[in-house]
């Protein structure tokens, strides 16, 4: 195990997560800092709300890619003979987690970032694409029915470890991965603590995937 390469890769994973896609994209193409509008969050959902579907989609895809890329760095280390095959999953979790921390606390924007949902999805896609697809289904069904992005995100995050625990893939899953899944749900829920209060108070903003016109440029 080469500590230097592992440390370098860990730093890279955090820096990838630190790319403030919503902020940079909004400022570059719309002259708008999305953190000053809507929910004030630097994530894909607020970008959808403030700048419209096109901008939100771009930010969503890039934020997912951040998590996916950081996670698959572990596979790269394996092919470079830096880590052992049995260590791949562990390092995927570590690097993916660092990307999420980077999104939550981005170095490039004074540690004021988003909520890490899209980046978490990227990590899950890199680790278990089959279950990740099911989680996306949970998100879409929930948001179409209830129109709350926060609720949909939390239920999708919870679905990942629960589905693994239920053995939907038909094969035994790593207890470490299941435990990590519950940890990630806790982080997502904590990041949405303000949204939870709004949900209980009935004041949470709704998001409509269908039947609403795109937002205008600001």
Report yes or no on 210 lying in a domain: no
Residue 142 falls inside a structural domain: yes
Q: Is residue 140 in a domain? A: yes
The b-or-e profile of 182-194 (16+ CB within 10 A means b, else e) is: eebbebbbebbee
pLDDT value at residue 49: 87
Q: Is the pLDDT of residue 213 over 80?
A: no
- Asked if 44 contacts 118 with a C-beta cutoff of 8 angstroms, the reply is yes
According to the model, what pLDDT value does residue 93 have? 97
Q: 76 lies in a domain?
A: yes
Confidence grade of residue 51 (pLDDT, cut at 50, 70, 90): very high
Residue 42 domain-assigned?
yes
pLDDT at 38: 85
Average pLDDT for 110-132: 94
What is the number of domains present in the chain? 1
pLDDT > 70 in the chain, percent: 95
Residue 110 lies in a domain: yes
DSSP string, 45-112: HHHHHHH-HHHHHHHHHHHHHHHHHHHHHHHHHHHTTSS-GGGHHHHHHHHHHHHHHHHHS-GGGTT-
Tell me, yes or no, whether 209 lies in a domain. no
- The number of residues making up the chain comes to 218
- Amino acid 199: pLDDT: 93
The whole-chain average pLDDT of the chain stands at: 92
Residues 137-161 pLDDT 10s: 999 999 999 999 999 999 999 999 9
What mean pLDDT is predicted for residues 178-190? 95
Q: What is the pLDDT of residues 53-107, one digit of tens each?
A: 899 999 999 999 999 999 999 999 999 999 999 999 999 999 999 999 999 999 9
In a domain, 215, yes or no: no
Q: How far is CA 71 from CA 133, 193, 206, in A?
A: 17, 26, 31
Residue 161 belongs to domain spanning: 3-201
Q: Return the pLDDT at 214.
A: 45
According to the model, what pLDDT value does residue 12 have?
98
pLDDT at 29 over 80: yes
Separation of alpha carbons 188 and 155, rounded Å: 10
Q: How many CA atoms lie within 13 A of 30 on its CB side?
A: 23
Confidence of residue 208 (pLDDT cuts 50, 70, 90): confident
């Amino acid at each position: 195990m080469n500590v230097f390469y592992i440390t370098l890769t860990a730093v890279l994973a955090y820096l990838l997560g630190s790319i403030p896609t919503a902020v940079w994209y909004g400022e570059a193409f719309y002259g708008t800092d999305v953190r000053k509008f809507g929910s004030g969050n630097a994530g894909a959902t607020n970008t959808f709300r403030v700048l419209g579907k096109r901008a939100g989609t771009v930010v969503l895809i890039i934020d997912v890619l951040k998590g996916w890329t950081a996670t698959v760095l572990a596979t790269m280390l394996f092919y470079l003979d830096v880590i052992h095959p049995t260590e791949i999953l562990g390092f995927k979790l570590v690097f993916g987690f660092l990307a999420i921390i980077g999104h939550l606390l981005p170095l490039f924007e004074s540690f004021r970032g988003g909520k890490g949902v899209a980046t978490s999805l990227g990590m899950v896609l890199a680790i278990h694409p089959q279950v990740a697809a099911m989680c996306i289904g949970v998100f879409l069904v929930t948001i179409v029915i209830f129109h709350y992005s926060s609720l949909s995100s939390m239920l999708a995050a919870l679905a990942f470890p629960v589905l693994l625990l239920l053995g939907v893939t038909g094969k035994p899953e790593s207890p470490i991965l299941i435990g990590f899944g519950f940890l990630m749900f806790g982080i997502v829920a904590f990041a949405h603590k303000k949204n939870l209060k709004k949900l209980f108070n009935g004041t949470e903003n709704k998001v409509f995937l269908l039947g609403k016109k795109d937002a205008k440029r600001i």
